[in-house]
A and B are shown apart, each in its own frame.
Chain A
């Protein structure tokens, strides 16, 4: 009986507040828009049954999405931004994780805490901090003008460059931690063996260190890529009006245009885009767990 309640309560909670809402998004994505509150025509009446539902079902909203340029561009540009910023985060995060793993062992807990600490501080505040740095009269421009590197202020805020900086900055800890944990476990005698056998330091790095930290690299990349794809706060605060990302489009469709069916259709397609990376990520995690056992 106790066991029944233990299973039952979280189960029901998740069905009611995760599964059912999710089904509602699907349902509304297949509805017609109408001027009403809530602004959609319900497509599904449980009493009518599945057949009636299938007869009514239409892909109008999805067709609409394929016809309007905006959505195509938003998908492509979200993918591009996510891929590129994941690469940047990897290139910046790997040396940091590497140096942490090679640091004296009594430093490591402190270094770990220093990486985790920004993660606990508000995401919004960390993005906001960059607004003051990157703006035309911002600290970065003041500094560069003062040093004489540039003569006119650089326009960085409200461009895609600012979005990349924001993404790399906020997601860096997610990249560093899995790579660090892979590198810390790495047996350094393997690298010494490679060097003894005639590898140069650089080729030992490429042939031994990188392959052995592969699981960390993959895990870190997905941990950056997956949330970036649906990101909303960074493009809306740091990006310009020409920065297109699906998360932002969905938000505007919903809050500004109040077109709920189209917003839901955007959500469904965003999820479809995410399914592949999520499945790959899960598989990588499983492989890692099996390897540990």
Chain B
């Protein structure tokens, strides 16, 4: 590879500056002493303290995590089933409708998904709360999971599955012992995607939550509407730190796995 041209260097530098400077500024100002976000008055961690004493935020955070864990787990199970059916299921009645229902939520504006689910919950007389947010989040994130998992299922060699069946596995054993370990990375990244989608979601949660259950994004949104506040900066910094650690760790782990796999393959070839 030749040296990078100055044009490419400049566009990469400016591009990543644009992507990261706002986040860096947000983090810096979370350590600002002053209540005014725009005036720097010295280093302080007092807003983190305030945040930890703010019960409303802590409750909302707890609700959000509960919703995200439960909904992403359901979404992973349902999404993996849906992906398996789409890729391996062959023909069945209403297959076109099924694939349409999997892809449609991906492009549906959130306001419409939220509105339609709210109308359903009111129509069947379900009280809005944690349960309804979980149902809503499971529905839209299962579609993302199924897209991630089916892209893995498409590329994998089906003869391994068939070999297991020939050697006496029942279909469910073949799935558990052969298919699942192979698609596991996709299933895990599907779960992580569903989890972050649920953590992030403001619009659908606003439609489907009741007064009893407020999620963190709803809380942040109503605070932010009134203007910038250092407490929100502190909260954002914590969330960014968690996400960044998670993403970097998983990518390092998967990188190491790839390296190990390659080495094992090389050794296998040599012996």
Interface positions of A (Cβ within 8 A of B): 2-3, 6-7, 9-11, 13-15, 17-22, 24-25, 28, 38, 92, 95-96, 98-100, 102-105, 109, 111, 113-118, 120-126, 128-133, 135, 137-139, 142, 169, 172-173, 176, 226-227, 229-233, 236-237, 247, 250-251, 254-255, 260, 263-264, 267, 270-271, 274, 278, 281-282
Is A2 touching B172 in the complex (CB atoms < 8 A)? yes
Provided the pairs A24-B116, A103-B8 are in contact, do residues A114 and B16 lie with their beta carbons within 8 angstroms? yes
The answer to whether residues A169 and B22 also contact, given A18-B105, A232-B110 and a CB cut-off of 8 A, is yes
Given contacts A14-B98, A103-B4, A135-B38, contact A92 B18 (CB under 8 A): yes
Kindly list chain A residues whose C-beta atoms are within 8 Å of the C-beta of B108: 271
Chain A contacts for B255, CB-based, 8 A:
109
Give CA–CA (A2, B170) in the complex, Å: 11
Select B112's contact among A10, A11, A176, A271, beta carbons within 8 Å: A271
Q: Judge whether B84 is part of the interface by a CB distance below 8 angstroms.
A: yes
Whether B25 and A124, one on each chain, are in contact in the complex, defined by CB atoms closer than 8 angstroms, is: no
Contacts of B101 in A (CB 8 A): 14-15, 18-19
Contacts of B5 in A (CB 8 A): 102
CB-contact partner of B19 in A13, A118, A128, A270, under 8 A: A118
Besides A96-B16, A122-B236, 6 new A-B residue pairs in contact (Cβ under 8 A), listed by A number: A99-B8, A99-B12, A102-B4, A116-B247, A117-B247, A267-B116
Known contacts: A38-B122, A230-B109. The answer to whether A25 contacts B115 by CB under 8 A is yes
Q: Nearest Cβ distance between residue B191 and chain A, in whole angstroms?
A: 14
Interface size class of B (residues with CB under 8 A): 35 or more
Nearest first, the 8 closest Cβ-Cβ pairs linking A and B are A230-B109, A21-B116, A96-B15, A99-B8, A95-B11, A21-B120, A129-B22, A10-B82
- The 9 listed contacts between A and B (C-beta, < 8 Å) are A6-B81, A38-B122, A113-B248, A123-B202, A139-B25, A226-B107, A230-B109, A270-B111, A270-B112
Q: Which residues of B contact A99 (CB under 8 A)?
A: 4, 7-9, 11-12, 15
Contact A278–B217 (Cβ < 8 Å): no
In the complex, chain B residues whose CB is within 8 Å of the CB of A274: 107, 109
Q: Is the interface of B mostly helix, strand, loop or mixed?
A: helix
Distance from B26 Cβ to chain A, minimum over Cβ atoms (Å): 4
| A14 contacts across to B, CB distance below 8 A | 82, 98, 101-102, 139
Complexed CA–CA distance, A58 and B263 (Å) = 68
A-contact 0/1 string along B84-117, CB 8 Å cutoff: 1100010010100010011111011111100111
Whether B221 contacts A124 by the Cβ 8 Å rule is: yes
Q: What residue of chain B has the Cβ atom nearest to residue A264's Cβ?
A: B115
**Beta-carbon nearest neighbor of A141 in chain B:** B38
Taking each of B108, B233, B247, which has the highest tally of chain A beta carbons within 10 Å of its own beta carbon?
Answer: B108
Checking A38, A129, A260 against B25 with a beta-carbon cut-off of 8 angstroms, the contacting residue is: A129
Report the minimal beta-carbon distance from B148 to chain A, rounded to whole angstroms.
14
Interface residue SS majority, chain A: helix
Evaluate contact between A120 and B247: CB separation under 8 angstroms.
Answer: yes
Do A25 and B116 touch (CB < 8 A)? yes
- Residue from the list A25, A103, A271 in contact with B12, Cβ < 8 A: A103
Q: Is the CB of A138 within 8 A of B38?
A: yes
Within 8 A of A (CB), among B193-211: 196, 199-200, 202-203, 206-207
Q: Are B239 and A122 in touch, CB under 8 angstroms?
A: yes
A126→B22 contact, CB < 8 A: yes
Q: A7 CA to B176 CA in the complex, in Å?
A: 18
B224 and A10 form a contact (CB under 8 A):
no
> Which partner residue on chain A sits nearest B28 by CB separation?
A139
Instruction: Among B16, B104, B119, B233, point to the contact of A24 (Cβ < 8 A).
Output: B119
Q: Which residue of B lies closest to A18 (CB)?
A: B101
Q: Is the CB of B112 within 8 A of A6?
A: no
Whether B1 is near chain A, meaning CB under 8 Å from some CB there, is: yes
CB of A111 to closest CB in B, whole Å:
7
B25 to chain A, nearest CB (A): 6
As a 0/1 sequence over residues 246 to 258 of chain B, the CB contacts with chain A under 8 angstroms (1 = contact) are 1110010001000
Q: Report B-chain residues with C-beta under 8 Å of the C-beta of A92.
A: 15, 18
* B109 engages A270 (CB within 8 Å): yes
Docked CA distance A15–B117 (Å)? 12
Report B174 CB to chain A, min CB distance, Å. Answer: 11
Q: With a CB–CB cut-off of 8 A, which chain A residues contact B221?
A: 124, 233, 237
B213 lies within 8 A of chain A by Cβ: no
Q: Is B168 an interface residue (CB 8 A)?
A: no
Interface residues in B124-144 by Cβ distance below 8 A to A read 135-136, 138-139, 142
- Measured CB to CB, the closest approach of chain B to A25, in angstroms, equals 5
Question: Are B228 and A125 in contact, CB atoms less than 8 angstroms apart?
Answer: no
A123 touches B115 (CB 8 A): no
A202 to chain B, nearest CB (A): 11
